[in-house]
Chains A and B, each alone.
Chain A
Amino acid sequence: EAGVAQSPRYKIIEKRQSVAFWCNPISGHATLYWYQQILGQGPKLLIQFQNNGVVDDSQLPKDRFSAERLKGVDSTLKIQPAKLEDSAVYLCASSLLGTLSYEQYFGPGTRLTVT
């Protein structure tokens, strides 16, 4: 089966600009996650969707970050305006269900550099 797809793979923007990332999960996976991974740190959960509803967005900086999951399939994560500290790899993952012991399948990530 095809894995989790993400685009773009790399993005360089200046601070105060906007950027959007796209994720296509594995077909049939109800749960979708967005993580932020800063260099030298582990992935930090930003938002978790179950189908097209938000399960957890407690660590999403809502003043500048937004995310949506269209029709419970693809998802976009947007940053507006970007800050230098947003430089990180943004990982998308999906799993069959969010509350049972199903593994998360990760995409290749989008490396964002804010200058």
Chain B
Amino acid sequence: AQRVTQPEKLLSVFKGAPVELKCNYSYSGSPELFWYVQYSRQRLQLLLRHISRESIKGFTADLNKGETSFHLKKPFAQEEDSAMYYCALRTNAGKSTFGDGTTLTVKP
């Protein structure tokens, strides 16, 4: 069965510092990986997906199949990045599995 692990429950950085939120996965097939974000009092929403190889709000994530990781990175964190971040995996059959999330706090 597939599994998504986010090893850090809490992550705190200062404004302007680089930030990396870790995500590791296990899945025997070829996965689709996503990062979802939930800002305070808002709905869970898609941040980015690996297949698009896009940068959203300055965030990027690279799928590393050798290390089975999909870490989320941003070179200069902003206070508005403070939120809960979830890594998610979708299998070939379309089933989604989420990690337990990382709460990011960006301090002024």
Contacts and interface: CB of A to CB of B under 8 A. Distances in A.
Contacts of A42: 4, 6, 86, 88, 98-101
Nearest to B90: A101
Contact of A45 (B86, B92, B95): B95
B11 interface: no
Interface string B1-29: 00010100000000000000000000000
Contacts of A93: 44
Contacts of B6: 42
Contacts of A56: 93-95
B43 A107 contact: yes
A46 to B, nearest CB: 11
A9 B59 CA distance: 32
Interface in B84-108: 86, 88, 90, 92-101
B46 A103 contact: yes
B95 A43 contact: no
Interface in B26-54: 32, 34, 36, 43-46, 49, 51-52
B46 A48 contact: no
B96 A55 contact: no
A74 B94 CA distance: 20
A3 interface: yes
Nearest to A107: B43
A31 B95 CA distance: 11
Contacts of A33: 96
- Please indicate which of the listed interface residues A104, A107, A108 has the most CB atoms of chain B within 10 Å of its own CB: A104
Nearest to A40: B100
20 contacts: A40-B100, A41-B100, A42-B6, A42-B98, A43-B44, A43-B86, A43-B98, A44-B98, A45-B95, A45-B96, A48-B95, A55-B95, A56-B95, A91-B44, A99-B92, A101-B32, A101-B49, A104-B36, A104-B96, A108-B43
Interface of B: 4, 6, 32, 34, 36, 43-46, 49, 51-52, 86, 88, 90, 92-101
